[in-house]
Amino acid sequence: MPGLIGFYTFGEGRENWDASHFIHYGLNALQGRGQESVSLATIGQGNTLHTLSGKGGVEEFFQKNRASIPKGFIGIGQTSSYLEDYLVHVKTPYEMVLALDGTTDLHENRGEATKLFARQLSQLLHSEKEPLKATSMLINKIGGGYSFAALTHKQELITGRNPLGVKPLETGSVGFDISAVASETCALDVMGIDQTGSVETGEVIMFSPEDIRGNTPATDAGNFCSYEYVYLARLDSQVNSLPVAKVRNSIGRELAKTHPVKADVVIGVPETALPIANGYSQESGMPQEPGFMRTGENIRAALEPTQKERLVGVQLKLNPIKSAVEGKDVVLVDDSVVRGNTLRNTVLNLKRSGAKQIHVRIGSPTLVSPCPYGVEIPPRDELISGSLSEKELANNVGADSISFMTAEELQHAIGLPRQNLCMRCFENGGAKR
């Protein structure tokens, strides 16, 4: 699941800007969307596209390549949870570099599908006189769920979101000098860029040295990813104009109303579930305590590629605060359950720290299906909650009880119409009773 950045400068003196610095800051903010590979492309005087890609996290990439980071006054960047998932550079017939978040229906392999999309866009940009029209034609022809940013040799930054709208994309600006796009508003914030709005479903925006132009967006409101609100997006972001932290608090309140339990304290799993736990605490009247301390950098264990890395990530991420749980009945709030490794380890460590009873409450339905749009949800046979009843799952992870939201409850908490939310990973969700 990549995170995308596009950075564009205008006017006299634009050659004094260094796009790579801003892309560096923005990609750091999007690190939670992927930490396995990084790509960067810039263009400056002479209209030459310079690209650089590498394995690992954002800070590691920029430190390692400090002397060879390409300079330019416009650029795009990508950080990804896929190994060797880099920007696609097409040299003919219309030179361009593409970053794409999501999947298209051009090929079952995501990498090959992205390359085919880039080649078709290059062909259309070459054959059509109007780049905006060419790109609009393409996204209305190619299905799937994706957002993208393309940088061309003519100093054009073309960005958009296909009509399904499942993948987020936000725009920002600083006066008349700078414009930017990013997968999340938090990236714009850390770049010092003011958010100006979401890219609409089916909308294409083109930045050129002369102006900014857009097409007419799709009339459909879209089918937005519900998992963005549950887990993927950063707490300080807005997704489709909804503040993520506020939505997660609403999820916690709904969870307390529909899945109550008597206990002494509410504990949230950092970081994504903390606002959910806060909402649960506020609605239930039970106090919320900080239950864990992290060791080392922020690691999203569910996105790690191997079992060993996931278990190490869990151990580093969640060290219990004994005084918060010792001798108490605990409501442990998490956003979702994937393979069960994090939850099992967390319950075990809380009981080692003296918790009497642990009642798990999950701020989403059971995950029962992989995502068709590129979110790293494992195959069905690895999704622990899809094959077990709530009682069986509680026994499996060592909890005294566990309860999931229904799809209807999650939709109500998010506040968007059901037809405008993608819940394909939760299809037939709700653990068996």
pLDDT digits (tens, 9 = 90+) for 207-240: 999 899 999 887 777 899 999 999 999 999 999 9
Q: Does the pLDDT value for residue 312 go beyond 60?
A: no
304-311, long-range: CB < 8 A, 24+ apart: 305/36, 305/83, 307/341, 310/339, 310/341, 310/342, 311/341, 311/345
Residues 34 and 142 in one domain: yes
Report the share of the chain in percent with pLDDT over 90.
Answer: 80
Q: Does the pLDDT value for residue 271 go beyond 90?
A: no
CA gap 77, 24 in Å, rounded: 8
Q: Does the pLDDT value for residue 151 go beyond 60?
A: yes
Residues 217 and 242 in one domain: no
Q: In what order do the strands lie in the sheet with 265-268?
A: 265-268, 329-334, 357-362, 401-404
Q: Does the pLDDT value for residue 80 go beyond 80?
A: yes
Residues 208 and 301 in one domain: no
Residues 250 and 188 in one domain: no
Tell me which residue of 280, 276, 254, 256 sits closest to 408, measured CA to CA: 254
Q: What is the CA radius of gyration of the chain?
A: 22
Q: Is residue 61 part of a domain?
A: yes
Residues 208 and 357 in one domain: no
Distance of CA 277 to the CA centre of its chain: 21
- Secondary structure in 3-state letters for 199-236: CCCCCEEEECCCCEEECCCCCCCCCEEHHHHHHHCCCC
Domain that holds residue 363: 226-426
Residues 261 and 274 in one domain: yes
Residues 78 and 211 in one domain: yes
Q: Is residue 317 part of a domain?
A: yes
Last residue of a domain, one of 160, 192, 222: 222
Contact 336, 231 (CB under 8 A): yes
Last residue of a domain, one of 222, 249, 283: 222
The strand pairing partners of 401, in sequence order, are: 359
Tell me which residue of 123, 402, 153, 87 sits closest to 259, measured CA to CA: 402
Domains in the chain: how many in total?
2
Q: Does the pLDDT value for residue 334 go beyond 50?
A: yes
Q: Is residue 79 part of a domain?
A: yes
The enclosing domain of 237 has a CATH number of 3.40.50.2020
Model pLDDT, residue 297? 65
Model pLDDT, residue 294? 81
Q: Does the pLDDT value for residue 255 go beyond 50?
A: yes
Residues 217 and 232 in one domain: no
Q: Is residue 433 part of a domain?
A: no
Q: How many CA atoms lie within 13 A of 367 on its CB side?
A: 25
Q: Which of 144-153, 216-225, 405-414 has the lowest mean pLDDT?
A: 216-225
Q: In what order do the strands lie in the sheet with 88-90?
A: 88-90, 96-104, 144-152, 157-161, 204-207, 212-214
Section 392-413 average pLDDT? 96
Model pLDDT, residue 316? 55
Q: How many CA atoms lie within 13 A of 32 on its CB side?
A: 16
Residues 10 and 129 in one domain: yes
Model pLDDT, residue 433? 32
Q: Does the pLDDT value for residue 42 go beyond 80?
A: yes
Model pLDDT, residue 220? 75
Section 384-395 average pLDDT? 91
The enclosing domain of 77 has a CATH number of 3.60.20.10
Q: Is residue 408 part of a domain?
A: yes
Residues 113 and 217 in one domain: yes
Report the share of the chain in percent with pLDDT over 70.
Answer: 94
Last residue of a domain, one of 183, 203, 222: 222
What are the tokens at 124?
């259309």
Q: Is residue 108 part of a domain?
A: yes
Residues 334 and 371 in one domain: yes
Model pLDDT, residue 135? 96
The model's pTM is 0.91
Residues 191 and 238 in one domain: no
Q: Is residue 432 part of a domain?
A: no
Using the structure block, give the residue that is written with the tokens 């007419």.
216
Q: Is residue 431 part of a domain?
A: no
